[in-house]
Structure 1
């Protein structure tokens, strides 16, 4: 199944979905050295975002969050790709400078289509997400 979306940062990545309905503040929620979510109140607390297709509604917090995304990339613990309901500048800039594919505004609600553990392809260059529904 192909789902059209808006491209924010170009690229193609395949990976396992890690989904949260909680917004993410990369400055404070995620350890830039390990890629582990360290905010105890966050739904993903204790989980690694490394190599995952990180699905979350939007980013929040300080503009330094863009640099934290870049640190994740430099430390080889960044997500493979990211999907937002609506991207905002902090996450967009971080993804762009790090070369992490980022999309938003999917034509279908990703929280209804996806679950953690699904394997998907994010082709932000082609403005689509590909979901293999045979895996369920």
Structure 2
């Protein structure tokens, strides 16, 4: 195992996957649940799949119903992100992740953002608040 970074558990779980960064907030309702592809036209990840990725994004967008439904639809089709690292987790986003048992953390160490880029494989241990490079 490689370098480790601290983070703060929102919703537990332990997953491995590739990192995918988003500069834009994410509305899970604007992701195609059949493919995991972001369909929000102005989004920086438009046309890219978040399925199976550990997605790093600044905040969630949309009402509680929209966020929870979007996450639920993706979970039902197996197209959910493996895990989520969010900078500013609002109550809606956090509650949706907890209800759907989706690993989510916030407060990742500053060095994480400096050292890690798209495609880096990591293990996200949300339960213990650790992100480890693989």
Are 1:5 and 1:129, in contact at CA under 8 Å, matched by a contact in 2?
yes
State the Cα distance separating 1:110 from its structure 2 match. Answer: 4.1
**Stretches of 4+ aligned residues off by more than 4 angstroms:** none
Q: Is the 8 A contact 2:17 2:53 kept in 1?
A: yes
Gaps of 5+ in 1: none
2:18 alignment counterpart: 16
What do the CA deviations read for 1:61-102 (whole angstroms, capped 9, x no partner)? 121212211211111000000001121122212211222110
Gaps of 5+ in 2: none
1:53 paired to 2:54: yes
The equivalent residue for 2:42 is: 41
Cα separation, 2, equivalents of 1:49 and 1:90: 20
Alignment correspondent of 2:81: 79
Distance in 1 of aligned mates of 2:113 and 2:7: 14
Q: TM-score scaled to structure 2, two decimals?
A: 0.90
TM-score by length of 1: 0.89
CA-CA distance at 1:113 after TM superposition? 2.7
Answer whether contact 2:5 2:111 (CA < 8 A) is retained.
no
* d(CA) in 2 for partners of 1:86, 1:109: 17
> Residue 8 of structure 2 corresponds to which residue in structure 1?
6
Q: Contact 2:22–2:44 at 8 Å: present in 1 too?
A: yes
Deviation string, structure 1 residues 15-66 (Cα, Å, up to 9, x no partner): 0111111111122x21223211001110100011110001101101121212
Superposed CA RMSD:
1.4
